[in-house]
Amino acid sequence: MKPRLCDLAFLAGTIAAVGAFAQESRIPTGNWQSARSATYTNPALTGADLYLDINVAKDGSFRGTWGQYLCTAYPGAHGISIYSCTRTGSNRVSGRFGPGRQGTIDLHKLGRSPFAWNAPAPGEVVIDLPKNWQGSDAVLYRTRMTRDGKQKPTARSSPAPDEGPLLSANALYREFDRDSSAALKRHGGKTLVLEGRRGALVPLSGGGAAIHVPDGHTARALVLVFADVKQVNGIGEGVQFRFRCTVAHFDYQYVYMENCAIVRE
């Protein structure tokens, strides 16, 4: 007897749902390390990062060590201070990566907290704790880890053809790429309306999304953070679009922009 069309549709939907669940539930097993040193131009971020060196089991549980960064300031171009930070301290840490890209972490001598995690690129994991988990001061609430503890190089895409006039999003990235200190002094904390082409879309915990905006060979020139993934519905990869975002920093060699919204005609 031939299967009915409705049965086939149900089977296809079930397979898709199982695949989506497996993708969402994939745990970043193995060893993950934060960078042992970092450089910042935004002083507010010097106490934000947490150092982790952890081993994650198949069930999501992890153990390892945690530390923080000791920073020294020195003068940079255009009067902008540069903060050079190195890892210091070593204490026990344990926790678990749970479903829904949520988890819990227990930092010896510091406390226990929930966290959200995502994998913005292959071989890279980002953990975010509530900014106020240590009180009114926003400290030790985030970390970015790779397999070897080295900063992941900016992803590269295939060569892009000449697509006409330079878009404003690309112009902003190239300004930061030439002189990040001067660009941050000019644009840091400001809300800009720009135009660019949509690259990769990374779902975030809490229903948000991060969109990468490419520039030529650089697949992740800008990272735009939207509070609601529904805001970007209907904007396919490669499509040109306008957006309004606040410039936050350039600490990972891309322009990080937050509080984003789509500007529709």
State the pLDDT at residue 80: 60
Q: Is the pLDDT of residue 164 over 90?
A: no
Mean pLDDT lowest among 67-76, 183-192, 213-222 = 67-76
Average pLDDT rounded to a whole number, residues 239-247: 95
Question: Which residues, 6 or more positions from 67, have their beta carbon under 8 angstroms from its beta carbon?
Answer: 50, 51, 87, 88, 89, 90, 91
Q: Provide the 8-state DSSP code for 166.
A: P
Q: Which tens digit of pLDDT belongs to each residue from 8-45?
A: 444 444 444 444 334 444 899 999 999 888 777 777 77
More confident residue, 213 or 156: 213
More confident residue, 165 or 17: 165
State the pLDDT at residue 84: 81
Q: Is the pLDDT of residue 3 over 70?
A: no
State the pLDDT at residue 106: 97
The count of residues in the chain is 265
Question: Which residues, 6 or more positions from 148, have their beta carbon under 8 angstroms from its beta carbon?
Answer: 33
Mean pLDDT lowest among 31-45, 53-67, 168-182, 226-240 = 31-45
State the pLDDT at residue 218: 84
More confident residue, 22 or 153: 153
Q: Taken in order 221, 216, 191, 39, is the CA torsion positive or negative?
A: positive
pTM: 0.54
Q: Is the pLDDT of residue 195 over 50?
A: yes
Name the phi and psi angles at 232, rounded to 5. Answer: -105, 10
Q: Are 221 and 170 in contact (CB under 8 A)?
A: yes
State the pLDDT at residue 157: 40
Query: What are the tokens at 39?
Result: 């450089």
Distances (CA, A) of 232 to 200, 211, 250, 262: 12, 9, 23, 7
What share of the chain has pLDDT > 90, as a percent?
48
Provide the 3-class DSSP secondary structure of residue 116.
Answer: strand
Q: How far is CA 15 from the centre of its chain?
A: 29
Radius of gyration of the chain (CA): 20
Q: Which tens digit of pLDDT belongs to each residue from 90-132?
A: 999 999 999 889 999 999 999 999 999 988 888 899 999 998 8
Average pLDDT rounded to a whole number, residues 148-163: 53
Confidence band (pLDDT; 50, 70, 90) for 75? confident
